[in-house]
Every structure is written in C-alpha cells, then in structure tokens.
C-alpha cells in the first residue's frame, strides 16, 4: 500500500492504516469549494493530503471569522467522534488544490469504536485541537501583530508540510483578526529581516529559526500540542501507538 500523505493516518499501525485507506475515496477541492456549511450535516469525514482548509464562523449579519485551519496533520469532521451530526462552522478550501481522503461519517464512528489504535490517535488529535483553540484565543488578544503573523506563517507551513505556499494578505488579516494594513506592515517587517519572501501571492519561509524567534511563544505551544503537527510521518509498526 502506498503510504498516505495525511500524517494522522500515517500515525496508525500499518494494518489499521491500510484497512481505513482501502475504504476511502479520493476527492479534490478547489479554492473556496465548500466541505461543510454552517448548520449542515456532516455526512463524511476528510483527511487532507495537500492544501489547506479553513473553518469559519458565520455571524447572523453575514460577517465571518476564521477560527481554525486544517492541513495534512489532521482531519475534518472530528466532532463526529464526539457524537455531532452537524457542523457548527462553515468549512471550505483555502489553499488549493486540497486533496483529501473521504470516509462516510458513520463508518468513521464505527472504526473509532472498533479500533483502540485509531481511538488513541483521534483522542490525541482532539486534545491538541482543543488546546490550540484556547491558546490562540489568548494569543490573538495579547500578542503583537508581527509576532502573531510569524506564528501563523510557521503554523501554515506545518499544516501543509511545506515552507512555500500561496497566501493573500486579505486571508491572513482575517485569520489574525486585524486590518489588512496591519498585516502589510507586519509582513513587510518579516520580509525586510530576510525571514520570508512574498511575491505574487506566494510566501516562502527563508529562515525558519529566525521566524521562530520572531514569533510569540504560542507557536511552540501549538506545535507541541498536536502530535502530528510539523511531522512527516509514515505508518507505524503493528505495535504502535
């Protein structure tokens, strides 16, 4: 079996990984294509292999704010594991193409109940996601824009398993909850310092250690909270996890 690029699946023992992947369907989402709508059903769960997905809260007046990003380190539809049947957020493809492996939600729930290994992996991921939410709420309230910008760029690289990716300043401003002008100033500072390059909507991390120093403390906390963040793993032996 060809190993999946999704690092959450790759953390499973080889036999468990092979059984799951054999029942999954490949699907590709292009930019802004919807995965779940706010209040809509979660019919399937998705394990990204490339690209970046955005989870967005939609207010009554139509205003939106991104609350999470998911790449090849995780999955979409994790709340099925907690008994949810509908999504509280809108989820769509932010950085395309987003290649995923899809599994019907009912089958995923059955597999979690059946497999101790899968349950442990999903448990660990769920704990990390919850810890990340709490940390980023505090980070967005307390830390300066430049440090948060550096943190977000590092996290995006970890989500995608790459140091070069497409990014608009409009999207970054939405993710950080600031005006676009503030993002322009912060990104310019990082560019002048030689930490990143930015050209035609493409960001490249040039100096990762330097960008980590420019980031706030929250990057390391978030990176360590999610077991598969920033890890380019492979399927484990039958004795793991």
User: Domain 137-224: which CATH class?
Assistant: mainly alpha
Q: State the span(s) of the chain assigned CATH 2.60.120.10.
A: 7-112
The H or E element that residue 16 is part of is helix 14-22
* Pair 70, 80: CB distance under 8 Å: no
pLDDT in tens, the chain (241 residues): 454 589 999 999 988 899 899 999 999 999 889 999 999 999 999 999 999 998 988 888 877 777 888 999 999 999 998 899 999 999 999 888 999 999 999 999 999 999 999 999 999 999 999 999 899 889 988 999 999 999 989 998 888 888 998 877 777 776 676 787 888 899 899 999 999 998 878 899 999 999 999 999 999 999 999 988 865 444 444 443 3
pTM of the model: 0.85
* Pair 9, 17: CB distance under 8 Å: yes
Sign of the Cα pseudo-torsion (190, 193, 196, 202, in order): positive
CATH number of 7-112: 2.60.120.10
Q: State the span(s) of the chain assigned CATH 1.10.10.10.
A: 137-224
Question: Which of 113, 114, 115, 104 shows the shortest CA–CA distance to 77?
Answer: 104
Rounded distance, CA 43 to CA 40, Å?
9
């Amino acid at each position: 079996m060809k190993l999946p690029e999704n690092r959450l699946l790759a953390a499973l023992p080889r036999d468990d990984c092979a059984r799951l992947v054999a029942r999954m369907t490949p699907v590709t989402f292009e930019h802004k294509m919807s995965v779940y709508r706010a209040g809509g059903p979660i019919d399937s769960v998705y394990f990204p292999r490339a690209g970046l997905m955005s989870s967005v809260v939609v207010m009554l007046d139509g205003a939106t704010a991104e609350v999470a990003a998911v790449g090849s380190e995780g999955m979409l539809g994790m709340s099925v594991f907690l008994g949810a049947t509908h999504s509280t957020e809108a989820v769509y493809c932010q950085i395309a193409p987003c290649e995923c492996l899809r599994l019907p939600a009912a089958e995923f729930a059955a597999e979690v109940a059946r497999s101790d290994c899968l349950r442990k992996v999903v448990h660990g991921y769920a704990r990390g996601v919850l810890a990340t939410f709490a940390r980023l709420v505090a980070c967005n309230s307390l830390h300066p824009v430049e440090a948060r910008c550096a943190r977000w760029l590092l996290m995006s690289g970890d989500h995608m398993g790459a140091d070069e990716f497409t990014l608009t300043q409009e999207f970054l401003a939405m993710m950080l909850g600031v005006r676009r002008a503030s993002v322009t100033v912060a990104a310019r500072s990082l560019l002048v310092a030689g930490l990143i390059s930015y050209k035609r909507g493409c960001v490249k991390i040039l100096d990762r250690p330097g960008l980590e120093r420019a980031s706030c403390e929250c990057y390391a906390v978030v990176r360590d909270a999610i077991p598969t963040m920033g890890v380019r793993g492979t399927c484990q032996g039958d004795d793991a996890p």
